[in-house]
Amino acid sequence: MRERKNIPQNTRKMDGRRTGLDERQQQIADRTGTVSCFLMLGISLAWIIGQLLWTGEVTMVLGETVIFLAGGIAYLAGNIRNGIWDRGGRKRGAFRNLLESVLFSGVFTVLYVMIILKKAKEGTNVAQIAVLFFAGIAVLCFLSLTILEKAAKRRREKQEENYLD
* 104 close to 135: Cβ distance less than 8 angstroms: no
Total tally of structural domains belonging to the chain: 2
* 7 close to 21: Cβ distance less than 8 angstroms: no
% of the chain surpassing 70 pLDDT: 85
Whether residues 76 and 1 share a domain: the answer is: yes
Is the pLDDT reported for residue 58 higher than 80? Answer: no
Whether residues 42 and 106 share a domain: the answer is: no
* 38 close to 29: Cβ distance less than 8 angstroms: no
Expressed as residue numbers, the domain containing 146 is 89-165
The band of 114, judged by pLDDT with boundaries at 50, 70 and 90, is: confident
* 163 close to 82: Cβ distance less than 8 angstroms: no
Selected residue with higher pLDDT from 90 and 146: 146
* 12 close to 19: Cβ distance less than 8 angstroms: yes
Selected residue with higher pLDDT from 24 and 9: 24
User: Looking at residue 134, what is its pLDDT?
Assistant: 94
- Whole-number Å distance between alpha carbons of 31 and 89: 18
- Burial of 51-82, coded b for 16+ CB within 10 Å and e otherwise, reads bbeeeeeeeebeeebeebeeeeeeeeeebbee
Whether residues 112 and 72 share a domain: the answer is: no
* 67 close to 44: Cβ distance less than 8 angstroms: yes
Whether residues 122 and 101 share a domain: the answer is: yes
User: Looking at residue 14, what is its pLDDT?
Assistant: 54
* 152 close to 83: Cβ distance less than 8 angstroms: yes
User: Which range is most confident: 72-81, 114-123, 134-143, 156-165?
Assistant: 134-143
Whether residues 74 and 142 share a domain: the answer is: no
pLDDT in tens, 136-149: 999 999 999 899 88
Does an H or E element contain 104, and which? helix 94-119
Mean pLDDT of 44-59: 83
Selected residue with higher pLDDT from 53 and 138: 138
Is the pLDDT reported for residue 10 higher than 80? Answer: no
Q: Is 151 exposed, middle or buried (0-12, 13-18, 19+ CB in 10 A)?
A: middle
Whether residues 43 and 62 share a domain: the answer is: yes
